[in-house]
Amino acid sequence: MTAETSTATALRKSAVSRYLQLAGHFRRRIETGEWPVGHRISTVVELAEECGVAGMTVRRALDILEKEGLIERFRAKGTFVRETPKKDLWCDIRTDWSALLNARYSSHIEVLSNDLGPAPHFLASEDWPGRPARQYRRLRRRYWREGAPFMLADVYIDETAYKVLPEGSAERLTALRLVSDLPGRPIANAQQELTILSADLTLASELSVPQGAPMARMVRLAVDHDDIRVLVADGIYRGDSTKLRLKLK
């Protein structure tokens, strides 16, 4: 199977819009150096034929790369690679308790909503430890760094625990830090689970990424000594600025 045939087949099989797939495909060509900085890329007609798609699909994909500053178009000259994608992986997802309690360096937490509600529904079908609290305080928060959003999270805190938190905690503390030092309620068990997904319309809008962009979902749960799920944090991280670090020994 040729590279051209393989690309066209992959585009047809995926449920993600073809122009978004193409944008990712072209972006990888720049990342790997197949299209180096200064390189004049093929014409729209040539790329459409190569990838087995319509010319409009190629144009929409190139529009994305142009908005990202990766390519530049010149009338009568063609389209050239301007720069490589940035690899500033400054959101480091840690897996040890002490590191998770510390706020991201120079990050800013924006509280989008704060209301009462039930426990998150997805826990009912999962094998998670502990029992739900009677009522939760649900905080929707967006994390920023250097003017760019990198995480959107729904944080559920046992309402009785939320009532004793210091004023302003929701705007400055990480999820686990919110419940790490609750008086009389030590954390007995804490777990986290990572899954990979793509950005839907809401995530694309909230985190300033293209629809279909890779994302990392991290669910964290903390259980107190009474076996109550005192905290559930459901966070979605941008895949282009995040890495997961595991200590193996």
Residue located via tokens 């459409």: 48
Task: Spell out the alpha helix ranges (H) of the chain.
Answer: 3-13, 18-32, 44-51, 55-67, 97-100, 159-162, 175-180, 201-207
Per DSSP, the three-state class of 176 is helix
| CA-CA-CA-CA torsion sign (181, 182, 188, 193) | negative
Question: What pLDDT digit, counting tens, does each position of 193-217 carry?
Answer: 889 999 888 888 888 787 788 899 9
* Distance between CA atoms of residues 64 and 79, nearest Å: 13
Check residue 96 and give its pLDDT.
54
* Distance between CA atoms of residues 200 and 146, nearest Å: 24
Check residue 152 and give its pLDDT.
94
Check residue 9 and give its pLDDT.
62
Check residue 10 and give its pLDDT.
55
User: Which segments in the chain show pLDDT lower than 50?
Assistant: 1-3, 13-15, 89-90, 92-93, 103-105
Per DSSP, the three-state class of 146 is coil
* DSSP character at residue 66: H
Check residue 146 and give its pLDDT.
65
Check residue 235 and give its pLDDT.
94
